[in-house]
Structure 1
Amino acid sequence: MDINDLIIYRRTMPERSARYAGFPAELPEELREYLQKNGVRGLYIHQAEMFLRSLKRENVVITTSTASGKTLGFLLPVIEEILRNPLARAVFIYPTKALASDQYRAILPYIEYFGKNRISAGVYDGDTPAGERSRIRKEANIILTNPEMVNGALLPNHSKFGFDFIFANLKFVVIDELHTYRGVFGSHLANVFRRLHRVCRYYGSSPVFLCSSATIANPVELAEEICGKKFVRIERDGSPAAERTYLLIKPPKILGHDKKYYGQVQATAVAAELIPELVEQRKNFIAFARSRRNVEVILKEARDRLEAECPASASQADKISGYRGGYTPAERKEIEHKMVTGALCGLVSTNALELGIDIGKIDATVLAGYPGTRASFWQQTGRAGRSGRACTNYLILDSQPFDQYIGTNPGWLFENSSESAVVDKNNLLIELSHIRAAAAEIPLTLDDASVFPDLGETIPVLMRAKELTGQNGKFVWSGGSFPAGDYSLRGIDPNRYKLLLKDSGKEITEMDEMQAFREIHPGAVYLHSGVQYQVVTLDLETRTARAVPFNGNYYTTPMGNTDITIIHGRKEKPWKRIDAVFGDVNVNAQVSLYRKLQFHNHQNLGYEQINPSLSREFETESVWLKLPGNVVTAYRRLLQESPNGQMIRNNHFEGLCYALRSAARLVTMTEQEDIGTTVSTNAVYAEKSVEESVFLFLYDQYTGGLGYAEKAYELIPEIIENGIAMVRGCPCEDGCAACVGDYHLDKSMVLWGLRNMLEESEVPKHVKMAPYGPSTFIQKPFRFDELEAQWKAFTAMLLKNGEPFASFLNTVNAVRTEGRRLALITDQPFYREWIMEETNRKALNNLISYYTDAPKGFELEVEVRKKEENRRNGCDTGGGTAGKKAGNSGEGSTGIESEGFGDSEDDGEMQRKLEQRLDKLKKKEN
């Protein structure tokens, strides 16, 4: 394909001249002389403003463009303070170790000019040798570090190793790339700074906060939420800029034999064709992909093309490399060095290179799909043209809703303001982790209730766990030695999974549980640095997966179902024809299938089942919409069951979910994994009553929630209007993966459903509806309350379908149902402990839920009946006296014995959650 033929939009931003403010009178003469000797004619207007405001001890967030000299803006006030006060200390915080090391190189010229006896600095991270760490603690005025080191080294050791002197003399805290601290990461950092303020107060210091951020809608709000201080914003940009050209690339359509539109060629495939052209033109470039998997797909396909075009030499293929999380620090440093020295001419990266790491002069950027936010778009394209030379930026529009919307409305990308960043520093589970760490640093007092809002709920839980002891009105830490090491700042789930080579045991990568279930399930093809591996086992107990080298011509993507149970609503509002509620829900997300997609043409090679399915259950925040009755009725009448009965086809509820999730991401600055959508199970699986309300859920995919769903609740009208615009504006005729998620779905019906949230209308006349009636709803094969009578038929069906645990369940003598509970009756005492083990219990719950209309969160129990009680006159009567049972109350129950079906006593929902979280943290600690 010719890339030039695929250009649908071109915009050139002309060269921009600098605007100077000269040198402020308050700038020390020796600092002015240094700048002039290094070619600085004067400060840009934004640099001068930042210097003057910081002298007034104002907390500042600066949001000027990429490569605008923000680093100099916050360096000058810090160095001015150090030259005036040699004891002054400043902590510079960067989101990655690589960026901290890169920015250290920008400080070295100041050290060389003024002398180490006047200014000293150092990078303090996990790679810093012990001797250098000691030097930095004793001498360094400027400490460059990352949030993990502040959390795990500086704060827990504030009274040791010289950190007390640093905190007592701390004048500045500098946070670079503030916009990256949103969601989980930002919520953790906000709590780290809560602890930092406690420690600073203890030593009598009150540092000024200086932040830099990409352009977002709420930089002041974000800075104040994370840093806990009042801020002012600097946005007037005085820096020059080279001419920049932006090209929007529309991949070719995929047409069937009937000339029907079946989507488009994927953006990754177009990027893999464009990259060899850039290599041949000797352009230095960065190609950005939206996932680690896509990085490896583009890298492999681009190398394949380069090798095919130059079979006599593989040197051209060696001129490009991948760059992403999952590579070791040594691998990333080597790649950065090769790029700077010219050994490489291009990188294929995730957003890891969106930040300002110096990798030499970049002539072009290639975005394989819109990165999800305008802020990321400008950051990624801003990597090119920093040397003052004109640059070209390619945005290849993928088959995603955002991309298609931009294709028809390019002005939205270039002319509208950026999105708002969301954090929730009061997430209960995150706050608990940092309260434990804070208690170990300095005893908790009543004053800390103003620091941690949930302190009153948390202290009793920690005292019952013997982690806090009351002493003279204070609460002193008496738990493990290092609570700050019990969690990751970049996730809520403390569980980490490792992928190992099967034969050697060498570690390939590490990830959290949510990512592990998607990427390293049995059968998954995992790509790392262009090399393919196939996962052969996943052990949930040891949290390790093992893989073997793989040479197949496909990669895999996961699929599954999500069930939601409403816990309670917090606030509610009607709008047009829907009722919107925000509150707490329980989510059971299952990965049960994976799809095999061929390299290069990305054709679907089929589906494979994951046995047993992988299930992740958690409580979070959600907004749910009660769907209009006419929409529910119409969509139900379109449902079809696949021939094998395993999948539901023509499910327009899924199209509605897809459109609204895409629209919600437009306004919440979220990644794909941050928010999820689904409809209540009764939308598809209906019993005798058909009048029950059907809800559509948009939920945070993190335990406890991070504020995304609440933001969506506030913007429901805008989200629905955006959803209508995105589906209506898609270039497909009947529906495709971009607008409704599946080309089998009727676009007009999804659009009709969205519009009927606003105003009632008739179903499109061309749509053929099945006759209305209960018989048209998809029924589960068995009723839960009839399992006692149909148990043998049920297990026979499981055996026929080859389900895991079928053979075992066939040995169960009988079952008993009562309300929401199902008791398995057996004469083997060992089975009770084995069945109620967490992994096995969840797998059995999922299996029974899949084939029956079991109530959400039903309770699985085991009754052990002695053989002599179960047999009378040599016959198995199924009667006798029940022995002790193992109870399951849905979450966290692992074989607790009980006498009968009596309800457990509720000690308080919040404290239950805290105790569960505490248990996980303590397990990790041990």
Structure 2
Amino acid sequence: MERKTIKKRKSELQSNESPPKKHNTHTYFKVKNKINDSHNNEILDLLYNLEESHDYNGEIQDVIVLPKEEAKYGKLNFQLPQSVTEVLEKKGIKKLYEHQTLALNSFMNGENVLLCTMAAMINTLKEIPQTAIFVFPLNALVNDQCNSLREMLSLSPELKHKRVVVLNGSTPADQRIRLVNEADILLTNPEMIHWCLLLKAKYLEVFLSRLSLFVLDECHCYSGSFGVHTSMLLRRIHRYCKEVFDRDFQIIACSATIGEPKDFIESFSKVNFTVVESDTCAKEERVFIPYYGLSLFGGLKSLVSKLYDNDRRIIVFCKSRRMVGSITETLTQILPKDVVKSYRGGYTHETRREIELALKQMKIKIVVCTCALEMGVDIGMLDVVIHVGFPLSVSSFWQQAGRVGRRGQPSLSVLFTTMEDPLERHYVYNFESLILKKEIPSIKLNFEQLKILEFHLQRSLNELDGFHSIESIEKYFGPLAKEICENDFVRL
């Protein structure tokens, strides 16, 4: 039976005829050759060239194309301050996306908001300056957003005096209290909220008494025990501000990849939320393929070299630091060393910033990394993402896929597999369902972990010099916390 090429699939679709179903038998499995409705797409042309190359051996197992989407814009129910309008104009922003206006309208109505979009998440928040805490799961995100925020505020004479402070392990210990109390916007991570903000809360009342906004970015990261700890930290800050200053603050949470978002964020924070799930940014066509390689390094060398020859900028995600090193070494054997860089945890801050800047300036064509570049950090325009094996979760898969095609260009996401892992075989067999249904599992947190709950209860009580009221404990920490206080703790 004749093998159907990408070119033939395109011609069938352009003639508005439904392509006949056809199966391409492989030694290990069968995969449907099916493609969604598509227009002229340079990524499909690239895949066609790969298929027509002399050494092609059926590596492309399937092709799924998500169609182009036009942007949708919305209207605000209030007037933005002139200073903010000036900043937006200088950034070339004339209109706000519909999901941004929905989030901002809800926020100005005093609601807590969870924003679930693939792009423009934190940028939405920058338009309303507040005395705020921005919490990120990674220090790389803290530093990246700090630079972006300072740059934006500097565009307005009225806003450039706002003090943006980073609080992390690199902040000098003897300067932390002073820097935090002087801050208008504090960017930090969950660990520093505990070790600095809460354990030294009595010395930071100048800042905490002004706190009006708590921003939680990449909240899909807060799963398992880490998620429970972070949830307890948020509740401790909430309780402290309410009991000491008799004031609440609003919460804005952001995540592009989370299932059942409303249930998660309300159980996480113990407050009500408005959820904005529609992503109304403009999107070009996105192409997804599973790619079978007979061997890991040989298959990757062949694929990456062909993409590089087509002038593509590529990000390769690996599951471990060791694999990052091995793949980087393999690629530098066939490509110029100055166009291939590795990026992972363990590098110094200066080295990471140097690589991030080189990516933004398009000096690096290929970056091989762990999940350290999976979230948020601005790394400029990339064309192709290669997942070496299926990531650790469906959420991670979509996070990684979202790193390309961010500048209005078609993008390609490649699931590279040797088919040795049963999980990878499952997702290759069900690739169409994975892409089109986009069913991201929800995050379920176990708030009945007694050691964690007792740990945070003890510290919350110490922060407030006593119990205050059982009702307050139950409100912020739940009925189990009330039982622990009544039965296990001793009032001193």
Please indicate the TM-score interval, normalised by the length of the shorter structure.
0.7 to 0.9
RMSD value, Cα: 2.6
- 5+ long unaligned stretches in structure 2: 1-53
2:217 aligned with 1:176 = yes
Structure 1's 167 and 118: CA in aligned 2 closer, same or farther, altered over 3 A?
same
Distance 1:336 1:114 in 2: 29
Distance 1:91 1:210 in 2: 10
Distance 2:378 2:56 in 1: 29
Q: Among residues 270, 285, 288, which one is paired with 2:299 in the alignment?
A: 270
Aligned match of 1:200: 241
Q: Among residues 74, 87, 97, which one is paired with 1:34 in the alignment?
A: 87
Structure 1 length normalisation: TM-score? 0.44
2:351 aligned with 1:340 = no
Q: Among residues 96, 118, 143, which one is paired with 1:101 in the alignment?
A: 143
Distance 1:178 1:199 in 2: 22
Q: Give the aligned residue type for 2:429.
A: T
Distance 2:409 2:57 in 1: 22
Aligned match of 2:66: 13
2:131 aligned with 1:62 = no
Q: Among residues 165, 170, 185, which one is paired with 1:127 in the alignment?
A: 170
Deviation at 1:269, TM superposition (A): 5.2
2:190 aligned with 1:147 = yes
- 5+ long unaligned stretches in structure 1: 83-88, 253-264, 307-315, 464-469, 472-926
Deviation at 1:461, TM superposition (A): 6.7
Q: Among residues 281, 285, 288, which one is paired with 1:243 in the alignment?
A: 285
2:253 aligned with 1:211 = yes
Deviation at 1:169, TM superposition (A): 1.5
Deviation at 1:235, TM superposition (A): 1.3
Distance 2:255 2:62 in 1: 28
Aligned match of 1:668: none
Distance 1:44 1:123 in 2: 29
Deviation at 1:22, TM superposition (A): 4.0
Q: Give the aligned residue type for 1:296.
A: G
Structure 1's 112 and 277: CA in aligned 2 closer, same or farther, altered over 3 A?
same
Aligned match of 1:381: 401
Deviation at 1:167, TM superposition (A): 1.4
Distance 2:327 2:160 in 1: 50
Deviation at 1:121, TM superposition (A): 1.7
Q: Give the aligned residue type for 2:430.
A: N
Aligned match of 2:426: 405
Distance 2:172 2:264 in 1: 34
SS in 2 for 1:149: helix
SS in 2 for 1:298: helix
Q: Please list, as runs of the form range in 1=range in 2, the aligned pairs for 1:732-747 lying within 5 A after superposition.
A: none
Deviation at 1:318, TM superposition (A): 4.2
Q: Indicate if the aligned counterparts of 2:167 and 2:176 stay in contact, CA closer than 8 A.
A: yes
Distance 1:277 1:444 in 2: 66
Q: Among residues 442, 445, 449, which one is paired with 1:423 in the alignment?
A: 445
- Structure with the larger RCO, 1 or 2 (CA within 8 Å, 6+ apart): 2
Q: Indicate if the aligned counterparts of 2:165 and 2:180 stay in contact, CA closer than 8 A.
A: no
Structure 1's 444 and 135: CA in aligned 2 closer, same or farther, altered over 3 A?
closer
Distance 1:168 1:396 in 2: 51
Q: Indicate if the aligned counterparts of 1:250 and 1:407 stay in contact, CA closer than 8 A.
A: no
Deviation at 1:403, TM superposition (A): 1.8
Distance 1:61 1:126 in 2: 28
User: More strand per residue: 1 or 2?
Assistant: 1
Distance 1:235 1:423 in 2: 21
Superimposed CA distance per residue, residues 635-668 of structure 1 (whole angstroms, 9 cap, x where no aligned partner):
xxxxxxxxxxxxxxxxxxxxxxxxxxxxxxxxxx
Structure 1's 129 and 359: CA in aligned 2 closer, same or farther, altered over 3 A?
farther
Distance 1:118 1:384 in 2: 35
Distance 1:60 1:198 in 2: 19
Q: Among residues 463, 466, 471, which one is paired with 1:441 in the alignment?
A: 463
Q: Indicate if the aligned counterparts of 2:457 and 2:481 stay in contact, CA closer than 8 A.
A: no
Q: Give the aligned residue type for 2:246.
A: G
Deviation at 1:134, TM superposition (A): 5.8
SS in 1 for 2:80: coil
Structure 2 length normalisation: TM-score? 0.80
Instruction: Give percent identity, aligned residues only.
Output: 29
Q: Please list, as runs of the form range in 1=range in 2, the aligned pairs for 1:784-863 lying within 5 A after superposition.
A: none
Distance 1:299 1:348 in 2: 6
2:334 aligned with 1:319 = no
Deviation at 1:359, TM superposition (A): 1.8
Distance 2:96 2:108 in 1: 16
Q: Indicate if the aligned counterparts of 1:44 and 1:238 stay in contact, CA closer than 8 A.
A: yes
Q: Give the aligned residue type for 1:401.
A: P
Deviation at 1:147, TM superposition (A): 0.9
Distance 2:461 2:55 in 1: 62
2:324 aligned with 1:295 = yes
SS in 2 for 1:240: coil
Q: Which is further off, 21-30 or 227-236?
A: 21-30
Q: Give the aligned residue type for 1:364.
A: V
Q: Among residues 359, 374, 378, which one is paired with 1:354 in the alignment?
A: 374
Aligned match of 1:156: 199
SS in 2 for 1:229: coil
Q: Give the aligned residue type for 1:321.
A: K
Aligned match of 1:859: none
Q: Highest CA radius of gyration, 1 or 2?
A: 1
Distance 1:128 1:272 in 2: 42
Q: Please list, as runs of the form range in 1=range in 2, the aligned pairs for 1:682-697 lying within 5 A after superposition.
A: none
Structure 1's 243 and 19: CA in aligned 2 closer, same or farther, altered over 3 A?
same
Distance 2:175 2:57 in 1: 53
Deviation at 1:330, TM superposition (A): 3.9
Aligned match of 2:102: 49
Q: Indicate if the aligned counterparts of 1:372 and 1:402 stay in contact, CA closer than 8 A.
A: no
Distance 1:30 1:317 in 2: 46
Q: Give the aligned residue type for 1:334.
A: E
SS in 2 for 1:360: coil
Aligned match of 2:25: none
Structure 1's 150 and 286: CA in aligned 2 closer, same or farther, altered over 3 A?
same
Structure 1's 10 and 131: CA in aligned 2 closer, same or farther, altered over 3 A?
same
User: More helix per residue: 1 or 2?
Assistant: 2
Distance 1:106 1:332 in 2: 16
Superimposed CA distance per residue, residues 29-57 of structure 1 (whole angstroms, 9 cap, x where no aligned partner):
44234323432121111111111100111
Deviation at 1:423, TM superposition (A): 1.7
Q: Give the aligned residue type for 2:134.
A: F
Distance 1:32 1:19 in 2: 20
Q: Give the aligned residue type for 1:241.
A: K
Superimposed CA distance per residue, residues 152-211 of structure 1 (whole angstroms, 9 cap, x where no aligned partner):
111111111xx2022112111011111111112211101111211221122222111101
Superimposed CA distance per residue, residues 121-142 of structure 1 (whole angstroms, 9 cap, x where no aligned partner):
2222222346874664243221
Distance 1:338 1:26 in 2: 39
SS in 2 for 1:174: strand
Q: Number of residue pairs matched?
A: 430
Aligned match of 1:432: 454
Deviation at 1:394, TM superposition (A): 1.1
Q: Indicate if the aligned counterparts of 1:60 and 1:211 stay in contact, CA closer than 8 A.
A: yes
Deviation at 1:288, TM superposition (A): 0.7
Distance 1:204 1:372 in 2: 43
Superimposed CA distance per residue, residues 821-847 of structure 1 (whole angstroms, 9 cap, x where no aligned partner):
xxxxxxxxxxxxxxxxxxxxxxxxxxx
Q: Indicate if the aligned counterparts of 2:345 and 2:372 stay in contact, CA closer than 8 A.
A: yes
Distance 1:386 1:286 in 2: 13
Q: Please list, as runs of the form range in 1=range in 2, the aligned pairs for 1:449-528 lying within 5 A after superposition.
A: 449-450=473-474, 451-452=476-477, 453-454=480-481, 456-457=483-484, 470-471=491-492
Distance 2:482 2:430 in 1: 48
Structure 1's 4 and 247: CA in aligned 2 closer, same or farther, altered over 3 A?
farther
Q: Indicate if the aligned counterparts of 1:175 and 1:212 stay in contact, CA closer than 8 A.
A: yes
SS in 2 for 1:233: strand
SS in 1 for 2:154: helix
Distance 1:278 1:368 in 2: 15
Distance 1:399 1:45 in 2: 44
